[in-house]
Amino acid sequence: MKPNRFYLYSLVLVFFPLLIEAQVVLQALDSYFSITLESGKKRIASIYDADYFPYNINPRSEALWQRNIAADGAQEPLVIDHQGKITTTGLRVGIPVTVQGNGFLPAYSVNITIPTNYTEDGNSRVLLFSWEQQFCSPATTYIVATIRSLDGDLLIKKLDMNMGFGTDVEGLLMGAFSYPNRYTGAFSTTSAEYKLYAVTGIPDRCLGKTTSACVGYGANVREHDFIYTPLVGPDGKVWLGNNLGAEYAKYGSEWFDPAAQGGTLDTNTGLSLDYPNTNQIKQDWRAYGSLFQWQRNPDGHELINWTSSATGTPKYNNPTAILSTSWTTPNTNQFIYGINSSSRNWVIDNLVSSTSNNLWQANGATNPCPNGYHVPTHSEHVNLHYLITRSNASSGMWREDVLRLPAGGARISSSGLLFRVGNFGYLWSGDQSASYNSWYIYFSSNISSPYTNSYRSDGFNIRCLEN
């Protein structure tokens, strides 16, 4: 039986208001707009030190606004003088956000005063933290804020390298900007913070010394003038913030900034990045650093002059096939091919299993890390990898953004050529895996593993870990 028109009309009268109400609800849901803002931080290095060795390997429980802390009372050959500052033009920073819906985040600003005892010139400065009105959508992962000094540049007090980083390894808190942590048509009364820290540096073990003076052979020139800063890694341990030999850590380089890491600057333009993406972090050549043969001294063989995310040239680029008769004194700064070794080593075969294989550990004879640091053990790499990825077939190491390990590639043992630069990262451990090979950790955009070993004459990066 066909329904009559009266019956159909009755159904329309019943359900049409419900449809209208549902449409109103859906429109309301579609128009709902909220932003959750996270906290952030910025560390700025400011250093003056003329007496930094022996370096204090026992961290202070509290960092000090201090310089001229005597190490041994003797002036070093190289005086470190680096002025950290915030200018009147300011610096841009990214604030992580989570967005629901589409809409405009209103402008916001707040200021703080930096006291005179935190400044180099004795002038207190007012810092303004602000963001402009900006459109946000669910695809927005960060907003851009600016921090600038009013009425003159803030010159941050220059700090001694033996003054410490504090128990949290952050350095000295200059101040914190408080801002609402949520916007839903109005700003919340709860807040997030953006903190500013002043930090000093950690000297490379060869800082201010010629290579020959530092390791007993090599060039009679200073070529390891590197300064690093520490940070707490995903494993809760203290690591250096850059690979050994990174351009950011090179005192005298136009890119010198020991508090910078991969992704601080655009790899092509050199301009500051507000909130770098994964590839910008991994492919920042200023963070690549040196490529060491396993258990070898920082004698110059490892130094690479990087010029782009895919291009670099070894400083000493006349590799030799003459194997070393010593782990500690190969008496050359050239890369040593492994082709004349049955185990693809850079030392003669009878040294491979008959002598010490822990020279890169704490207090090891060829440990290239700063005082108080060592090349991580295999188990330390395994632990770090597990806490980041929970899996080998994972992009977790590529996406990790605390240590910001770059994809600095490798140097091949048989040819001395650079390999997979910008696509893979390789980091030596300080442990042997068998009589002839040693452990390393590697990662790319889709896979990683700490359970890999390689020829000891290969050249890999090193990221140092605190003892």
Task: Give the DSSP letter of residue 248.
Answer: G
Flag whether 136 is in a domain: yes
Flag whether 228 is in a domain: no
What is the pLDDT at residue 56? 83
Residue appearing with tokens 């470190």: 80
Same domain, 195 and 284: no
What is the pLDDT at residue 3? 56
> CA-to-CA distance for 131 and 67, rounded, in angstroms?
35
Provide the pLDDT confidence category of residue 2 given band limits of 50, 70 and 90.
Answer: low
- Look at residue 394 and tell me whether its pLDDT is greater than 90: no
In contact, 443 and 452? CB cutoff 8 Å: no
Q: Which domain holds residue 457?
A: 280-466
pLDDT in tens, 282-300: 999 999 999 999 999 999 9
What is the pLDDT at residue 59? 61
What is the pLDDT at residue 64? 79
CB atoms within 10 A of CB 44: 19
Quote the mean pLDDT of the chain.
92
Provide the pLDDT confidence category of residue 343 given band limits of 50, 70 and 90.
Answer: confident
Domain boundary among 149, 166, 200: 200
Flag whether 289 is in a domain: yes
Domain boundary among 178, 200, 222: 200
Residue appearing with tokens 């290095």: 45
What is the pLDDT at residue 342? 86
- Look at residue 351 and tell me whether its pLDDT is greater than 60: yes
Q: For residues 296-315, give the mean pLDDT.
A: 98
pLDDT in tens, 54-107: 998 776 667 778 888 889 999 999 999 999 999 999 999 999 999 999 999 999
Strand 40-45 relative to strand 191-199, pairing: parallel
Flag whether 264 is in a domain: no
pLDDT in tens, 142-190: 999 999 999 999 999 999 999 889 889 999 999 999 999 999 999 999 9
Same domain, 169 and 288: no
Flag whether 26 is in a domain: no
Residue appearing with tokens 């001294």: 297
pLDDT in tens, 21-42: 545 444 444 468 999 999 999 9
What is the pLDDT at residue 18? 55
- pTM (two decimals): 0.91
Provide the pLDDT confidence category of residue 6 given band limits of 50, 70 and 90.
Answer: low
Same domain, 183 and 292: no
Query: How many domains is the chain built from?
Result: 2
Provide the pLDDT confidence category of residue 397 given band limits of 50, 70 and 90.
Answer: very high
Domain boundary among 200, 221, 245: 200
Task: Give the DSSP letter of residue 305.
Answer: E
Flag whether 22 is in a domain: no
